[in-house]
Each structure stands twice: as structure tokens, then as C-alpha cells.
Amino acid sequence: MFEGFESAWCEGEGARLRVRHGGTGPAVLLLHGHPRTHATWHRVAPLLTAAGRTVVCPDLRGYGASDKPPTDAEHRPYSKRAMAADCLAVMRGLGHERFAVVGHDRGAYVAARLALDHPDAVSALSILDAVPIGEALRRCDAGFAANWWHWFFLGQTDKPAERVINADPDAWYGATDEHMGAEAYEDYRRAIHDPATVHAMCEDYRAGLGVDRAHDDADHRAGRRVACPLQVLWAVHDDMEDLYGDVLAVWRDWAGDRLTGARIDSGHHMAEEAPGELAAALTGFWSR
């Protein structure tokens, strides 16, 4: 897994992140989702280095082996703004002042926040299977609540989800090594069996329902937009189209005419299930 890549510990902005990086050429930062680690990219990353890219894959703060800082009453240490600041510090520490960013699932919210907060650093943004947190909550209806109830369960503080999850993490998360590959699966299992990681991942969702939404809504009111070209990719066999119909329409108000997108013939975890199609879509976007 990640043959030819280096493994390193890199300083973020208040958290130390486990990072894999390799390749030469223009840099791209790959950000995983919940409850995965950087290992979710192990099939995509070599395709991107072969296409002439330097690839950087961190575990987000709170996830995998990366640091899990103490939280606060507003869950700000797990805000996407804090996670994005980590990623910027890591990339600059590795010598990359400007780079493309790809984010999947929860990592997509970090990627979008990085592009909004630090437009001079992000040359291109690719969002996989996500719409902005503020948009998702603004559009929340009975269908969203029924299918994405975990957002609200994981976000509870009065009756924390950690006790339920830690009773049987394998049963709760339900993933197998069928698509992930044996090494990536073991890396993921080490993470979900660590109660500190489970707590940090819940903090990610708690931040999402509060401070992250506030940041998104403030940007929306102020008319802030993604300044770089924006690509949105969504899985045919996931529920983005069921929830939103025209997925690109949700993002258009955030990107204007610099927005492109496409469907990927995959389930939600497209980096694991359709790495070739995903890599081709990303490299095609960057070459425009």
C-alpha cells in the first residue's frame, strides 16, 4: 500500500497529522471522509503520481493516527476551519504554497473551507459526494432526516453516541475489506476501535451542526464564493441525486461559471470502488 510514498508526522495548526506523500510535479491534497483514514486513497494516489502529481494524504485531525486535541463547548477544535488550517500548515511545511485539493464526504467540508478561507493557496477544488454543510441543513427535510439521521445522532451531547459505538465498532460501522483492501481495512479498524478516535469523529459532527454551519452561513450572507475552478463528483449508487436532484445546482451559487461536475459509477466510497474512473476525472479537470 502506497509503494514509493513516504510516511511522516507533520505539524498542523495545533495538531500533529500522520501523512503519506509521494510523487513529483504539481501538488494535490487528498482529504478522506468519515470514518476512513488516509488509506482510503491507496488505489487513487499511485494513479495520480503516475500522471505527474505530487500527492499528499493526511489523516485529518481526530481521525486515524492523527492528534485528537481536547474539545470545547462549541466544538471549535473540530471545526472544518481548524482542520483546514492544519492542512494548510502541513502543505506549507512540505514546501507546497499552492495546490489542488480533493475532499470526500467529511473531508469535502474541510476542502471547501480551505478554499474559502485560503483562496491564494488552492488552485483547484474537487468535491466528492457532498454539498456545503449550510446547504444540507438549510434543505433538510423528512427524507434527509430519515436517511442521514446519523448526523443528528453523532451530534448529540446530552446522550453521547460514543457509548453506543464503542460497544461494537465493527457492527456500528459495518465496513468490510471487500472494496477497501486488506491493509486499508486494518488501518480503518485500528481507528474505529480507539475510543479517542470515535469521540473525535463525533466532535466533527457536533461542530458540523453548530460552528461549521455558522461559518457557511456567514460566507453565504457575505457573498463569498470559491475563487478557484470547482469540480463536483457524485456517486451514481449513493443518494446525492435522490436528495438534491441537480447536485450542481446546489453548488452553483458558490462557484458561478467556474463549476463543472460528473457522475461516477460507484457507491459512496468511490476512491475504493472506482479508483480509475475517479483518477481520470480528476486529472482531466486539472488539465483544462
Cα atoms in the Cβ-side hemisphere of radius 13 Å centred on 123: 13
268 is catalytic: yes
What is the Cα 70 distance to its own chain's centre? 21
Neighbours of 214 (CB within 10 A): 14
Q: Other C-beta atoms within 10 Å of 37: how many?
A: 25
State the catalytic residue, choosing from 59, 105, 187, 219.
Answer: 105
Residue with grid cell 488552485, as numbered in its chain: 123
Max Cα-Cα span within the chain = 49
Enumerate the H helices of the chain as residue ranges. Answer: 44-50, 80-93, 106-117, 133-138, 142-147, 150-154, 162-167, 169-173, 177-180, 182-192, 195-209, 211-222, 240-244, 247-255, 270-273, 275-286
Report DSSP state, residue 15: S
* Rounded Cα–Cα distance for residues 61 and 81 (Å): 11
CB contact at 8 A, 251 and 244: no
d(CA 236, CA 273): 12
- Is there a catalytic annotation at residue 219? no
Length of the chain: 288
99: part of which helix (H) or strand (E)?
strand 99-104
Q: Annotated catalytic sites, by residue?
A: 105, 268
